[in-house]
Amino acid sequence: MCNKRPDRIDGLQGQDLGEELMLYDPCKDKLHILNGTSRVVWKMSDGSHTLSEIEEEIRKRFSFSGNSDVTEDIKKVIKDMEGKGLLKERYKSNVKV
């Protein structure tokens, strides 16, 4: 996997909801609820973790069937977060699905 380092935007307010995470963007007045997997991706998208490191952590925390393409799933989650304005634009053009 590539060694790009996704980075979340500043100013979001987060509240843990068990396995899920609620994020509020006060600038856009938007609320986002992330499932457990997306929660891990977002929390690790701090500019210091590579996609490989994020995948390693997700594989530790969750079980997957043998034919799951975790790498592509993470890229889709990142692309979705970019579209919702949860990750900085500087990373946006580097993820292809």
Which amino acid would we find at residue 53?
E
pLDDT band at 37 (very low <50, low <70, confident <90, very high): very high
Domains and CATH numbers, the chain: 13-86 (1.10.10)
Which amino acid would we find at residue 60?
K
Q: Range with the lowest mean pLDDT among 7-16, 19-28, 68-77?
A: 68-77
Distance in angstroms (rounded) separating the CA atoms of residues 94 and 59: 23
**pLDDT reported for residue 64:** 78
Predicted confidence (pLDDT) per residue in 42-79, tens digit: 999 999 999 999 999 998 998 877 777 888 999 999 99
CB-CB contact of 21 with 39 (8 Å): yes
- 29's CB contacts (< 8 A; 6+ apart) are none
**pLDDT reported for residue 90:** 54
pTM of the model: 0.82
**pLDDT reported for residue 91:** 46
